[in-house]
A = this chain, B = another copy of it.
Amino acid sequence: MKGLLGGKGANLAEMSSIGLSVPPGFTVTTAACLDFVENSNTINQQIKDEVLLALQEVEKNSGKKFGDIKNPLLFSVRSGARVSMPGMMDTVLNLGLNDDSVIGLAELTKNPRFAWDSYRRFIQMYANVVMGFNVAILESTLEDLKEAREVELDTQLTADDLQELVEVYKRIIFEETGVSFPTDPMEQLWRAISAVFSSWNNPRAIKYREINDIDHSWGTAVNVQSMVFGNMGDDCATGVCFTRDPSTGEKKFFGEFLINAQGEDVVAGIRTPQPINDLSKNESNKGLQTLQEAMPKVYDELVEVYTRLEKHYKDMQDIEFTIENDKLFILQTRNGKRTAAAAVKIAVDLVNEKILSKEEAILKINPEDINQLLHPRLDPSATKNVLAQGLPASPGAGSGVITFTSEKATALNESGVKVLLVRQETSPEDIAGMVASEGILTARGGMTSHAAVVARGMGKPCVAGCSEIQINYATLTLKVNGREFKEGDHLTIDGATGEVIEGKVPTIAAEISEDFANFMSWADEFRKLEIRTNADNPEDSETARNFGAQGIGLCRTEHMFFEAERILAVREMIYAKELKEREKALAKLLPFQREDFIGIFTAMDGKPVNIRLLDPPLHEFLPHTKEDREALAEYLEIEVQLIDERCEQLHEFNPMLGHRGCRLGVTFPEIYKMQTRAIIEAALECKKKGVEVLPEIMIPLISLKGELVLLKEECIKEIETIFKETGEEVKYKLGTMIELPRAAITAGSIAPEADFFSFGTNDLTQTTFGLSRDDSGKFLPEYINGGLVPVDPFVSLDQEGVGFLVNHACVEGRKSNPKIHMGICGEHGGEPRSIQFCHDIGLDYVSCSPYRVPIARLAAAQAALRD
């Protein structure tokens, strides 16, 4: 039902059906939204007729009449897309009020102040959301009035004040727009529904969908629901609650509310909300009365409701409620956003509580979210100068230079600077800046504020509502307890504790919780794909192994060439004009490479290690600075000019398509010979020490079967030579990367020559699209924004194009060599949708960076379970 009714609409319907007290209402479907968009933003007559019918039904149920002067039915009109898009779609409350019905409402509720305040709020929201009016001018009128009345809070204004304000609002709107504020409730409703539908395509919504990979073609539903009022007096309240702790996953009922308020007062972060119970108390709200204390009966009912909801939805719930004259209404419930740690704990607990099966638990967690668990945290032993304490809104540690605007954060990040975004409070306009930041620090707002919710979703550290800091946007400074920091100064936040710390604090790697370990072991029970890692040194190999990697799928030998003591020998090799000179330089590199491999083999004891022979174009190793060139000239005892000339000679127009990969092996066979020797000698040495070594030698960038045949032959010849020299042998595999379209196309003829295929989907994406990863930044974002590609093909494997080639190679390769072992080692190897694809076409493994190994394990398990 979510597709048609949207998330909120479906939930409301479902809550209704399980007997919860939900304010009566109806949902205008996403289909109507799509129809609206297609018909140049007009609602067609059939839909109008259906809305009118539904409206009559609500009138019957509620005993109120829409537009009635005496007992007016008022509506909230909210968007509701298939997935929750918090804060991004627009909402109008109190719809149906006008100059007549506000009087009726005042008389009916015996609360003129409430009636006029509702009307005032309605006009402001409606002007903003539906009429596109800049409400700053209305807000400043409100501030002016408060100043004139010498009061601080809105609630201190009288009914007369608010009535006066309504008149002023309406006058300003007429003056500014030339249009009177609409007083016909039906007109209000049609325009509000249209505004929600239109807001599906506002830039913020589009941006959110892009970041979260949400389909632009889904559309939003509109939920039209009778208003219930949390602001009708002190027997009224409104709040939000989580059935478990969204930060830790702890089984604790947890929430915030405000007496005599409407919903937006809680999430806007302007008033500090009260805890609903003792468990919800924290530093900033511990002095405030709980709901349990203030309204114990309602609280008990809420507890009863949440238990029922959690069992029904088999998940932690995020519930919005309103209490109207001591009566509890559930406005909304949804699966709560949570940190990855919480997600894992909740899933494991729900399995232990027999609410979920293991399989269901595994499918519950978005593999990408695990990312959060695997990031470093502050080193507890480091000296920290804690400047202030805010709310621990999203766990993890973040450090960067502070900046105060989203634009600046984005710009700095693009130039490679790590930033910490500091805002009074965040809004949807800040999303790009949040994405670009290491962490978010806000001065206002609670655990359910925009900053907190969005940061948790992103897996970014966030400290929210840190009232000790004062932000001055004009001078770009932040004051905290008498100290001042300027834009560009370094701060650190700890999203797990809420601490704001001076300078840059060292971090340590994530630790794996017992719950997480359990959960991952369940994933391992189900998955079919082997998970390997891309690692080039013993440390990364170790990390990956600890994360559950079952081997190395890609060890890039060239990364080892850049270390200071080696680079001169590498350059000597490049500058060699004759075989003998080149062999001399290679002889210097051999011991380094052998040591590298000994380290990696030892770290991966008992697990296969796939080593790719030299791949990048030689000129990547050239000296780029004048100093480097002089140093090389001195080392080689030749003129600097000769170095410059050789650099010129080695220059390539399109290095990605140039003299690299196995082409180096063909023209300079001695390079691969040296590398093969280093691998096999290292393997023999490890074997002698009792390490179980499973080396795999991989030839990169072949486009022709003949390349593999030739280079394989040369490798084997060298290996046989070493076996004869040493009298020792070791088992090894020899295979190739499939990373060019031609290799994929002709895989059937290549496969009999290879023990394995490793799909290099980065390069394969570049050549299949004709798209340089290094250069695509100039236009690819526009493609993604414009919907020309659904997602960056370097992030998620393009299944239609690149996937066609991978699948073709897999099918043809297995036909001619059924024993061949196949996997992918591009960045896609750690991306859940790509992993699903790899599972579907029957690859044997994926290989990804160490920190993505657990993500891959989970994604592989999900793929197997969906099968």
Contact = CB atoms under 8 A, between A and B. Distances in A.
Contacts of A657: 654, 656-657, 766-767, 770-772, 775
Interface string A723-735: 0000000000000
Interface in A806-827: none
A667 B783 CA distance: 9
Interface stretch (A221-229, A387-395, A682-690, A796-804): A796-804
Contact of A775 (B659, B701, B739): B659
Interface stretch (A91-99, A311-319, A362-370, A784-792): A784-792
A742 interface: yes
Interface stretch (A148-156, A203-211, A703-711, A839-847): A703-711
A648 interface: no
A703 B771 contact: yes
Given A740-B770, A779-B663, A800 B745 contact: yes
A739 B782 CA distance: 22
A142 interface: no
Contact of A801 (B710, B742, B788): B742
Q: How many of these chains are in the complex?
A: 2
B655 A805 contact: no
A543 interface: no
Q: How large is the interface on A (under 10, 10 to 19, 20 to 34, 35 or more residues)?
A: 35 or more
A737 to B, nearest CB: 11
A84 interface: no
Contact of A667 (B745, B775, B779): B779
Interface string A746-760: 100000000000000
A658 interface: yes
Contacts of A742: 768-770, 798, 801-802
A790 to B, nearest CB: 10
A741 interface: yes
A509 B655 CA distance: 39
Nearest to A654: B772
A652 interface: yes
A739 B741 CA distance: 13
Nearest to A802: B742
Interface in A650-687: 652-659, 663, 666-667
A626 interface: no
B740 A769 contact: yes
A49 to B, nearest CB: 35
Contacts of A658: 772, 775-776, 778
A763 interface: yes
A774 interface: yes
Contacts of A704: 783, 788-789
A837 to B, nearest CB: 15
Contacts of A746: 800-801, 804
B805 A741 contact: yes
Contacts of A800: 745-746
A653 B655 contact: yes
Contacts of A653: 655-656, 772, 774-775
Given A654-B656, A659-B778, A802-B742, A666 B767 contact: no
A205 B704 CA distance: 25
Contacts of A706: 787-789
A761 to B, nearest CB: 13
A745 B655 CA distance: 25
B801 A666 contact: no
Contacts of A740: 768-770
Contacts of A789: 704, 706
B666 A788 contact: yes
Contact of A654 (B655, B782, B788): B655
Given A653-B655, A663-B779, A779-B667, A768 B745 contact: yes
Contacts of A707: 788
A742 to B, nearest CB: 4
A800 B778 CA distance: 34
A216 to B, nearest CB: 13
Contacts of A804: 745-746
Contacts of A659: 775, 778-779
Contacts of A745: 768, 800-801, 804-805
Contacts of A801: 703, 741-742, 745-746
A770 B666 contact: no
Contacts of A767: 657, 741, 767-768, 770
A736 to B, nearest CB: 14
A784 to B, nearest CB: 11
A656 B804 CA distance: 23
A710 B786 CA distance: 10
A666 B786 contact: yes
A703 B741 contact: no
A34 to B, nearest CB: 19
B770 A703 contact: yes
A773 B655 CA distance: 11
B774 A654 contact: yes
A718 to B, nearest CB: 19
A740 B774 CA distance: 18
Nearest to A798: B742
A644 B826 CA distance: 36
B775 A652 contact: yes
Nearest to A617: B775
A704 B742 CA distance: 20
A326 B291 CA distance: 131
Given A653-B774, A704-B783, 4 more contacts: A653-B655, A656-B657, A740-B768, A745-B801
23 contacts: A652-B774, A655-B775, A657-B772, A658-B772, A658-B776, A658-B778, A659-B775, A663-B779, A666-B783, A666-B788, A667-B778, A667-B779, A667-B782, A703-B768, A707-B788, A740-B769, A742-B801, A745-B768, A745-B801, A745-B805, A746-B804, A767-B767, A767-B768
User: Would you list the 3 A-B pairs with minimal beta carbon distance, nearest first?
Assistant: A657-B772, A742-B801, A654-B772
